[in-house]
Amino acid sequence: HPIPVIAIDGPSASGKGTVAQLVADKLGFAYLDSGALYRVVAFAAHQNNIAWDDADAVAKCAKSLQIKFIHDQVLLNGQDISNEIRTELMGKGASQVAVHAPVRAALVDLQHSFLQSPGLVADGRDMGTVIFPSAPLKIFLTASTEIRAERRYKQLLGKNQAANYENILQDLQERDARDQRRASAPLVMAEHAILLETDNLSIADAVNTVLDAFKKCK
Ligand code: C5P
């Protein structure tokens, strides 16, 4: 039997991360936050004065990075940058570096290395379509732009970061458009994926829906 993967894709601030992590905890599976990888690349490029639109330079930078996840921490070359990558600026940077095919290619092996027994929950934009196409369970988790903007807004306030609802909404719309329209691994629902609309769905209900679907597909 191959090691099972639950692929959870969807747009920014849809609640994917929270749901994916809870599902992973519940099943005792490993968890891949692939968005964090693109954020780390954006952060490292920024630190090295590499422009986010310079595909080759960013790809070269991405290949040179030593990225590790330890518990809730993201380490870049041994340094904890968990907070630094969670800003709106790095979210924007991530979506700009993620457009480049060579940058995406530079992160493929690293993403595959997260696959370990007894299973993996992989969260991102292209988990079910590109990185783990044979995942037995694929979820497309989404919510309206307004609800997602509200969630991101509250999340930032909760972390005592500056937040402006209108700016967040506009950034989300730009990021969605960039993620959906790019040529390389665009954000699309994978074939056979289960669509989970979370506007009126609690986190607990979303988690249970995923767990039930996983039981059925085993
Ligand atoms: O999920 P998160 O908001 O942290 O992702 C940041 C950005 O990274 C996304 O807007 C998207 O452009 C990019 N990304 C991607 N493919 C993934 C995960 C994230 O292109 N698998």
Reduce the DSSP state of residue 27 to 3 states and report it.
helix
Domain extent, residue 29, equals 5-217
Q: Is 34 in the pocket of ligand 1 (CB under 6 A)?
A: yes
Q: What is the pLDDT of residues 72-121, one digit of tens each?
A: 899 999 999 999 998 889 999 999 999 999 999 999 999 999 999 999 99
State which ligand 1 atom lies nearest to the alpha carbon of 36.
4
129: Cβ below 6 Å to ligand 1? no
CB 98 within 8 A of CB 179: yes
Which residue of 8, 95, 168 sits with most ligand 1 atoms within 8 Å of its CB, as the best mutation to test the pocket? 95
Count, residues in the chain:
218
The single residue listed with the structure tokens 């988990």 is 127
Structure tokens at 54: 């310079």
12 annotated ligand-binding residue: yes
ipTM of the complex: 0.98
At residue 32, the 3 state secondary structure works out as strand
> What one-letter code names the amino acid at 76?
L
Is the distance from the beta carbon of residue 156 to the nearest atom of ligand 1 less than 6 Å? Answer: no
Indicate which residue's Cα is closest to atom 11 of ligand 1: 95
Ligand 1 in reach of 111 Cβ (< 6 A) = no
Cα of 38 vs centre of ligand 1, distance in Å, is: 6
Residue whose CA is at the smallest distance from ligand 1 atom 6: 35
The tokens for 118 are: 């007894």
DSSP 186-204: ---PPTTPEEEE-TT--HH
102 is annotated as contributing to ligand binding: no
What per-residue confidence (pLDDT) applies to 7?
98
Amino acid symbol at 209: T
**Cα(98) to centroid of ligand 1, in Å?**
7
Share of residues in the chain with pLDDT > 70 (%): 100
Res 125: pLDDT: 96
Query: How many angstroms separate the CA atoms of 218 and 88, rounded?
Result: 38
- Tally of domains within the chain: 1
Say whether 13 counts as a known binding-site residue: yes
Q: What's the angle, vertex CA 186, arms to CA 63 and CA 64, rounded to 5?
A: 5
Q: Which residue has the tokens 């995942």?
A: 135
- Give the CA angle between residues 31, 36, 40 to the nearest 5°: 140
Question: What are the b/e assignments for 34-47, b being 16+ CB within 10 Å?
Answer: bbbbbbbbbbbbbe
205 is written with which tokens? 């209900």
Phi and psi at 85, nearest 5°, equal: -85, -10
pTM: 0.94
Q: Identify the pLDDT of residue 88.
A: 82
Does ligand 1 have an atom closer than 6 angstroms to the CB of 37?
A: no
CATH code at position 27: 3.40.50.300
Between CA 178 and CA 167, with CA 59 as vertex, the angle to 5 degrees is: 30
* Cα(179) to centroid(ligand 1), Å: 8
